[in-house]
Amino acid sequence: MSRYRVAGSALALLAPAGCGTSYLDTDAGTAGIAANCAAVPVVAYEDVRVGDPVEFAGVPFKVSQITERAVRLTRTSA
């Protein structure tokens, strides 16, 4: 069994190390998400919506859900 996520699997950003949400606005359907490496900001997205593409460490995802507690991302490639 592979320990790596495959295309179509979901990742929920609640508070994993190095990744996080800067804001969630469920009324507007937008969120801000960011990632850090060794406390250095490496990527940040603002005003993402469901269906928007994002990329972390060269791995493409799409925003699949925004809730009051999390942003769910779905990997779009193997």
- Segment 13-32, tens digit of pLDDT: 544 566 777 888 989 999 99
pTM exceeds 0.75: no
Question: Which tokens in the block code for residue 31?
Answer: 């969120």
The reported pLDDT for the residue numbered 5 is 47
1 occurs within a structural domain: no
Contact assessment for residue 61 and residue 78, using Cβ atoms and an 8 Å cutoff: no
42 occurs within a structural domain: yes
The reported pLDDT for the residue numbered 63 is 94
Q: Which of 5-9, 51-55, 66-70 has the lowest mean pLDDT?
A: 5-9
2 occurs within a structural domain: no
64 occurs within a structural domain: yes
Contact assessment for residue 49 and residue 29, using Cβ atoms and an 8 Å cutoff: yes
pLDDT interval class at 52 (50, 70, 90): very high
Cα separation, 6 vs 41, in Å, equals: 25
The whole domain housing 20 covers: 10-75
Question: Which tokens in the block code for residue 30?
Answer: 């937008």
Over range 31-58, report the average pLDDT.
89
52 occurs within a structural domain: yes
Residue-wise DSSP of 16-43: -TTEEEEEEETTTTEEEEEEEETTEEEE
